Structure 1
Amino acid sequence: MKRINSNDIAQLAGVSRSTVSRVINGYSNVPEETRRKVMKVIKEHHYYPLISGQLLTGKKTKTLGLFWLGRAAIARDSLTSSYFMHVIDAAAQRGYLVLSCILDNLTEKHNINYVRKIFMEGRIDAGLFVGTSNNEPLIEELVGLDKIVGLFDFYHENEDVPNRLSVNFDRDSGEATIDYLYALGHRKIAVIDGDLSRLSCIHRHESYMRGLIKHSLPLQNKWMAYGGIVKESGYAAAKQMLSACMDDLPTAICANNDGVAFGVYQACEELGLRIPEDISVIGADGHENGKYTNPPLTTYSFDFKEMFASLVNRVIDTVEQKDNIPQSDFIPGHLVERASCRKIELL
């Protein structure tokens, strides 16, 4: 059977071959309606331009694309930068290379076109994405084009999409955190949520709420804040929240992640609050730096090496057309108890 080429795509879409080329290569001087029309034909006929003669024979590239969203986080955070090593190591174990692409976001047109081009040219067998929201139009577009996509922290309930795979944090870490604090005697617990466009932040918020309700603890607006996912935004949220309730402070703060918890430490220091004597703090993720804070940070820790190995291996299994591949995997965490939380004697 003759393989469809760009001339065929142009004829079917009613455009010139050069227009097809501009769409594939992400040029901005193509009207959006024309681009959609060409992409519709491409999808219907499973067309993509091959980048080498070797690929013309149907061989795989043995290369995964790693698309990281958030340039600044890599430069300043050892935990997030370690994700690259986990992906590269897991891929190497299977004989695959990793093409790494660092982008600020998937909302700007030039970033979207750049990712499209890499997939459409067949440079990679599959793409791994870290840092997307849980509803990302480009992801759905790629999945619709039958591209294989692996996602960290992304999940759609009850959707059977075999070429979209994900790995996620367990859904109960927030509830387990509240259980721990309750057992220590805490009854006035504050929560600093993260970016609620991200699945893990949504699940942690819901899990914190389940824990508070289970123990009949108060859900006070003054003890709730949104702190993003980094130290700076955690600091701002904690400073504002604590400054506003100095006459009725919570006895403990649950931070959405360890980066946010580091910001809580800074806010407490500036406000003259001692950890854990005046207020206990607990984070999530298991950041290496948590061992070196003063006092060392109690956290709900996850094995990121295990998480990325799960994602990479299932993506490669899909590339290699193996059977019975789980689309999603929720990795359990565990509590790491250190000195940032104290026991309260109940009267």
Structure 2
Amino acid sequence: MKKITSNDIAKMAGVSRSTVSRVINGYSNIPPETRDKVMKVIQENHYYPQLSGQLLTGKQMNTIGFFWASGGNIANSPLTSSFFVNTIEAAASRSYLVLTCILGDLDSDDNINYVKKIFMEGRIDAGIIVGADNNEPFIDELLGLGKIVGLFDYYHENETTRNRITVNFDRTSGEQAIDYLYGLGHRKIGIIDGNMSRFSSMQRHEGYLRGMLKHHLPIQNKWLCYGGITEESGYEAAKSLLYNCNGDYPTAICASNDSVAFGVYRACSEYGLKIPEDISVIGNDGDITGEHSTPPLTTISFNFKDMFYSLVSRVIDVIEDKEDVETDIFIPGTFTERSSCKRID
């Protein structure tokens, strides 16, 4: 397909090439109607200016983008910080640079357009996105334009696209959590789900329900609650769950991830409930902070270094046009038993 140039945009918009340039560069002396007309043609034709002569020749940049769209306080989270470090180290091991872009979310058009702009301008050979919902139309748009996209916690069943590379949590961790609690004698189990637009949250939810049904455990609405992926969301969800129980508390709570579990700790403390004496709590992810919580958090741990090295390595393999690159990989978890769950009669 012929690459669109600024001359083409000028002809289609009925303006001069210099006018197109001024619109792109944000000059203020452009009539609004002219700006709107040019921008409409640019957007309809997915045109982004190339940044240098090197890019114009199509030369590989040896640079991948890392787009963080999960919010949170990155500097204060060892787990989140490890995502960045592992990505940079994995890229460096293949002599690639990483262009890091921190976005609050992918809900706003401005953020989505910014990500698309980085891809389309040719600054990067591929991009890795963390924090995308499992159905993001703009990701399909990038893939349709031939862009190479790596995705953490993103999977479409029975769909294989060579330029979409994913890494995911093993699908069994939710069921494992229920099995463990059942083995400790728990029959009244509460569940705080995560952000159900994320693939891992959907899978853990299904795993929790499989485990509950397998062991013929009661599924009561008052013991179920939707949270998010942050400690604050876990705290609010746990407060709501405990309030709705009217004193008939579950003996254990499954938290969709460790951050949510830390929020459960806070809510239980406010209700005067001790962990694990009154309520057992189990997390998911393996956040190192759980080792030092009070009590230390039982969880299912994942090797995030392996996850990001796998993702980065396969993305670079696609950039370098290697054959037989595995598009979707699931990383198994390891059960980490600590002190937040107790056996009951």
Q: TM-score, normalised by structure 2?
A: 0.91
AA partner of residue 119 (structure 1): F
Is 1:61 aligned to residue 61 of structure 2?
A: yes
Contact 2:42 2:48 in 1 (8 A): no
AA partner of residue 52 (structure 1): S
- Provide closer, same or farther for how the CA distance between residues 116 and 21 of structure 1 changes in structure 2, counting only shifts above 3 A: farther
User: 1:26-73, CA deviations, whole angstroms, 9 ceiling, x for partnerless residues?
Assistant: 999754x9756544544xxxx764322233443211001111114433
Return the alpha-carbon distance in structure 1 between the equivalents of residues 307 and 117 of structure 2. Answer: 28
Contact 2:189 2:254 in 1 (8 A): yes
AA partner of residue 314 (structure 1): R
AA partner of residue 329 (structure 1): I
Contact 2:48 2:117 in 1 (8 A): no
- What's the secondary structure of 1:174's corresponding residue? helix
Contact 2:9 2:38 in 1 (8 A): no
Return the alpha-carbon distance in structure 1 between the equivalents of residues 159 and 38 of structure 2. Answer: 30
1:156 is displaced (CA, Å) by: 1.3
Q: Counterpart in 1 of 2:171?
A: 171
Q: Counterpart in 2 of 1:138?
A: 138
Contact 1:26 1:117 in 2 (8 A): no
Q: Counterpart in 1 of 2:228?
A: 228
- Provide closer, same or farther for how the CA distance between residues 102 and 26 of structure 1 changes in structure 2, counting only shifts above 3 A: farther
1:275 is displaced (CA, Å) by: 1.0
AA partner of residue 112 (structure 2): I
Structure 1: segments with no counterpart, 5+ residues: none
- What's the secondary structure of 1:181's corresponding residue? helix
Note the 1:194-205 alignment, pairs <5 A: 194-205=194-205
Note the 1:278-297 alignment, pairs <5 A: 278-297=278-297
Q: Counterpart in 2 of 1:339?
A: 339
Return the alpha-carbon distance in structure 1 between the equivalents of residues 237 and 4 of structure 2. Answer: 55
1:117 is displaced (CA, Å) by: 2.0
- Provide closer, same or farther for how the CA distance between residues 243 and 110 of structure 1 changes in structure 2, counting only shifts above 3 A: closer
- Provide closer, same or farther for how the CA distance between residues 247 and 136 of structure 1 changes in structure 2, counting only shifts above 3 A: same
Q: Counterpart in 2 of 1:110?
A: 110
- What's the secondary structure of 2:102's corresponding residue? strand
Q: Counterpart in 2 of 1:276?
A: 276
Note the 1:1-347 alignment, pairs <5 A: 5-11=5-11, 13-16=12-15, 17=17, 31=36, 38-42=42-46, 49-345=49-345
User: 1:131-189, CA deviations, whole angstroms, 9 ceiling, x for partnerless residues?
Assistant: 11111122122112111111111111122321111111111100011111111111111
- Provide closer, same or farther for how the CA distance between residues 34 and 258 of structure 1 changes in structure 2, counting only shifts above 3 A: same
- What's the secondary structure of 1:171's corresponding residue? coil
RMSD: 2.4
- The worse-fitting range, judged by mean Cα deviation, of 48-57 and 205-214 is 48-57
1:270 is displaced (CA, Å) by: 1.4
- What's the secondary structure of 1:100's corresponding residue? strand
1:205 is displaced (CA, Å) by: 0.6
Return the alpha-carbon distance in structure 2 between the equivalents of residues 275 and 184 of structure 1. Answer: 15
Contact 1:26 1:114 in 2 (8 A): no
Identity over aligned residues, as a percent? 62
AA partner of residue 135 (structure 1): N
- Provide closer, same or farther for how the CA distance between residues 89 and 214 of structure 1 changes in structure 2, counting only shifts above 3 A: same
Return the alpha-carbon distance in structure 1 between the equivalents of residues 151 and 22 of structure 2. Answer: 28
- Provide closer, same or farther for how the CA distance between residues 37 and 5 of structure 1 changes in structure 2, counting only shifts above 3 A: closer
Contact 1:106 1:138 in 2 (8 A): no
User: 1:279-316, CA deviations, whole angstroms, 9 ceiling, x for partnerless residues?
Assistant: 11000000111011111100011111111111101110
- Provide closer, same or farther for how the CA distance between residues 141 and 110 of structure 1 changes in structure 2, counting only shifts above 3 A: same
Contact 2:190 2:250 in 1 (8 A): yes
Return the alpha-carbon distance in structure 1 between the equivalents of residues 125 and 289 of structure 2. Answer: 35
Return the alpha-carbon distance in structure 2 between the equivalents of residues 207 and 182 of structure 1. Answer: 14
- Provide closer, same or farther for how the CA distance between residues 159 and 240 of structure 1 changes in structure 2, counting only shifts above 3 A: same
Return the alpha-carbon distance in structure 1 between the equivalents of residues 21 and 283 of structure 2. Answer: 49
Contact 1:230 1:260 in 2 (8 A): yes
Contact 1:24 1:117 in 2 (8 A): no
Contact 2:20 2:38 in 1 (8 A): no
1:107 is displaced (CA, Å) by: 2.8
AA partner of residue 197 (structure 2): S
Return the alpha-carbon distance in structure 2 between the equivalents of residues 214 and 344 of structure 1. Answer: 20
**Number of residue pairs the alignment of both structures matches:** 339
- What's the secondary structure of 1:207's corresponding residue? helix
1:118 is displaced (CA, Å) by: 1.4
Structure 2: segments with no counterpart, 5+ residues: none
Return the alpha-carbon distance in structure 1 between the equivalents of residues 201 and 226 of structure 2. Answer: 10
Return the alpha-carbon distance in structure 2 between the equivalents of residues 18 and 238 of structure 1. Answer: 58
